[in-house]
Structure formats: C-alpha cells, structure tokens
Amino acid sequence: MRFIHIADVHFDSPFNVLTNKRDFGTKRRLEQRSAFRKAIEYISNEKIPYLFIAGDLYDQDNVRESTIEFINDLFKTIPNTKIFISPGNHDPYLKNSFYNTFNWNENVSIFKDEIQRIELDDVDIYGYGFPSFYCSDSKIEEIKIKNKEKINILLVHGALDSSKTSDAQYNPISTSKLKEIGFDYVALGHIHKKSEENKYNFIYPGSMISFGFDELGEHGMLDVILEKNNLINENNLENNEKNNLINKKIKNNSTKINFIKLDNRIFEEKNINISEINSQEELIEKINSIKINKNNFIKIIFEGKKNIEINENEICKLIANENILKVEDKSEMKYNFDQLAMQNNLKGIFVKRMLEKLNEENSDEKAIKKAIEIGLKSFE
C-alpha cells in the first residue's frame, strides 16, 4: 500500500515568539498554506490512496473557521484519497473543536479519545485522538492486533520513549511495547524533527514547515510504500530462531520511505567571530556583508572574545537583511574572572560576589555574566 504521512502542521500558529519583525507571522502563515496545498496537489497527481495526519493539524487556541474551510476544500479535491486524522495536544478532540462541530468532507475520518480500528480491504488502521491538551493514559500499549495477516498501521500523536518529565503529559509510548504489539508502521506526530532510519517503522515525519531555529534543515512529508508478505509462524520456529523473530519479520516486509520537501524556507545558523570587532557599527557592517540565501531564515551566533557590550535586541533591529531573524551572543568576555576576583579592591569584591551567585543552584548564567560585563564597564 502507499500513503502520505504528515504531522504538526499547526495551522494559524501566531509565530510571534520567533521574531519581532513586522508582518512575519502573516507571511509565514501564507507559506504554511502554500506548503499544505503542495502536499494535496502531490497526492492528487500521484493518485495516492491514503493520507495520514498524525496530530496538531491546527492550533486550537488560534485557528479560524476560514482556515478549516481552506483545509476541507483541499480535501474535497482528492475525493478518492481516504484521510485519517489523529488529534494531538494542540488540536485535541474537544466538544467545541472543529473536529466535532465542522461538517468535514466524507473522505475524512477523525479519531476520538477511544482507540478505534478501521478495517479496510488491505489494511487495518488503528488510531487515537487527544481528548484534551494533555494525555497520559491512552492505553495504546494495550492494543491487541486482530488480524496479523493484514498490514496494521497505528496513527497517533505522542512522545516515543520520552526521557523528559514534561512529556509524560503528551501520550508517552514505549518502543519496546510497540514492538511487542507488532504494527507494520506507526505514523507518529509531536516531534518536529523527522526520524532517522528506523527498522521497526516507528516514524516521525517532522513538522510540515519549520517553526524556529530548534528545527533546522528541510521540512515536509513522507511518501511511504509498504508491502507485507506472509508472516513467519512463530510456532514453527526453534528457540534460537525465536530470538531473531523481529528481525525476520522486518526482512519479510518491504518499506520505502521518500521524504518530500514542502517548506521552501530553511532555518539555519551562521557563526561570526567578533574578537576583532571594536564597535557596534563595525559589527552591524560585518553582519550585513554576509551572503545569505534569500529563501533561508538566519540566526547569527557571536563567538570569540568580545571587546564591546552586546545588546542582542538592538543589534537585530539595525540589521538590514530581513531574513536575519535573530542574533545570539555566545562570545566570552575578555576578562579573566578568577584573576579579577583575587584583586583587593571594589572590582575584585564585585566579581567575587557575582561568581558566588553564578555557582548557586538554578542560577541564570547568561544574565549573571551580562551583569558582570556591565558592572566591569563602570569601573573603566
């Protein structure tokens, strides 16, 4: 079977935490629409029979009905494609959500907060939707596959093998449990970075477009071709063969995953050594001289030893290139703190006290070092 796997579209995301540049959010939302339209056109041209959307199709707190109509109108253009949506933590299946109140096209199936199995000729599709903005007990790990002779796919939004306490609220799922269940493909959403090669086919496609500098590189969707031959009968295996059963099952199936780029923009970082920079004007000129791909969004990272005070927000406002969205100062002050702290004067006492604060639990290293920098300037 062939299908498209997409996730974390986040329609109507405000984008207001990314930059203070005027109209950026509106432009990015237009690009978001363009990327989704491109995905639907690809499905139409390739006559792909299934589309899986693994949650966070839109942002519940910001989405407009006009946006839902835009999405559904595109779904109408692929009437022969069966569309399955698993609501996530940003677009849960609430009483007042558009998943519940809007009249979706007949080719759209939306999973609710109980595990559901949809039986089709060549595949059984299991799915689950977030009932609220948090989910910790989906019972995904308790699923029993009804027919292992068919292709079995799980569509779900969740945190696979999460090591963070905070992700315990976002449907934590164990890889080992999924392997025991025996799905042929798990179409995941929630993590905005696409999965590396996974022999068990537990896959995140990544977000459809990038939402910031923690999501570098290309973004889009996955075009998947999944074939399943007859399964090996475990009862016919010797004990030593049973140990390799999972590997045998994987080898007995065939999966081809093709990444399709949808976002025309790429977020990237560029480092600048500012050790030889002696004024803010000189720094701005150096930034403005950098050659930048006009389709990319850039974060400038300062490194080296600084000779001037760095005000990141002020510098960002003065940069001429609109594609430079952020600057981050990772440069070090030219001062030797340990030597300064040993001086028997006000400067030494000041540095010593600030270093003590730096060593306190939960201290803000960046803020304290900034305070030291400003304080030392006043001694000059």
Examine the pLDDT at 339 and tell me if it is beyond 90. no
* DSSP code string of 45-76: HHT-SEEEE-S-SB-TTT--HHHHHHHHHHHH
Whole-number pLDDT of residue 362: 78
Q: Which two tokens stand for residue 313?
A: 């927000």
Mean per-residue pLDDT, 332-347? 80
Whole-number pLDDT of residue 140: 95
Whole-number pLDDT of residue 247: 42
Mean per-residue pLDDT, 224-239? 61
Please state the pTM of the whole predicted model: 0.81
* DSSP code string of 254-309: EEEEEEEE--S-EEEEEEEE-TT--SHHHHHHHHHTS---TTEEEEEEEESEESS-
The tens digit of pLDDT for each residue in 118-135 reads 999 989 999 999 999 999
CB atoms within 10 A of CB 65: 10
Distance CA 86, CA 84 (A): 7
Distance CA 34, CA 74 (A): 11
Examine the pLDDT at 277 and tell me if it is beyond 70. yes
Band of pLDDT at residue 250, cut at 50, 70 and 90: very low
- Cα-only R_g, the chain: 26
Distance CA 251, CA 244 (A): 11
Band of pLDDT at residue 7, cut at 50, 70 and 90: very high
Whole-number pLDDT of residue 380: 65
What phi and psi, each to the nearest 5 degrees, are found at residue 321?
Answer: -75, 120
Residue type, 373: E
Alpha-carbon 253 to chain mean position: 28
Band of pLDDT at residue 242, cut at 50, 70 and 90: very low
Name the residue with tokens 């050659």.
291
- Residue 276 or residue 15, greater confidence: 276
Q: Which residues contact 343 (CB under 8 A, 6 or more apart)?
A: 351
Whole-number pLDDT of residue 237: 44
Whole-number pLDDT of residue 307: 83
Examine the pLDDT at 64 and tell me if it is beyond 80. yes
Examine the pLDDT at 139 and tell me if it is beyond 90. yes
Annotated domain spans of the chain: 2-261, 266-379
Band of pLDDT at residue 20, cut at 50, 70 and 90: low
Nearest CA among 376, 324, 329 for reference residue 352: 376
Whole-number pLDDT of residue 379: 72
Whole-number pLDDT of residue 342: 85
Q: Which two tokens stand for residue 260?
A: 């399709």
Distance CA 220, CA 206 (A): 7
Distance CA 203, CA 256 (A): 12
Contact in structure between 269 and 216 (CB atoms under 8 Å): yes
Residue type, 90: H
CB atoms within 10 A of CB 273: 12
Whole-number pLDDT of residue 241: 45
Q: Tell me the pLDDT of the chain averaged across its residues.
A: 88
Q: Are strands 253-261 and 220-228 parallel, antiparallel or unpaired?
A: antiparallel
Q: Which two tokens stand for residue 319?
A: 């940069």
Q: Which fold has domain 2-261?
A: Purple Acid Phosphatase; chain A, domain 2 (3.60.21)
What phi and psi, each to the nearest 5 degrees, are found at residue 363?
Answer: -75, 150
Mean per-residue pLDDT, 15-19? 69
Band of pLDDT at residue 52, cut at 50, 70 and 90: very high
The tens digit of pLDDT for each residue in 299-315 reads 999 999 888 888 888 89
- Residue 60 or residue 337, greater confidence: 60
pLDDT-above-70 percentage for the chain? 90
Region of poorest pLDDT, from 204-213, 258-267, 352-361: 352-361
Angle at Cα 79 formed by Cα 202 and Cα 261, nearest 5°?
45
Examine the pLDDT at 326 and tell me if it is beyond 60. yes
Reduced to 3 states (helix: H, G, I; strand: E, B; else coil), residue 243 is coil
Distance CA 52, CA 358 (A): 49
Whole-number pLDDT of residue 231: 42
The tens digit of pLDDT for each residue in 91-112 reads 999 999 999 999 999 999 999 9
Residue type, 244: N
Examine the pLDDT at 252 and tell me if it is beyond 70. no
Distance CA 380, CA 370 (A): 16
With both helix axes pointing from N to C terminus, report the angle between 65-76 and 24-46 in degrees, rounded to the nearest 10.
20
Examine the pLDDT at 251 and tell me if it is beyond 50. no
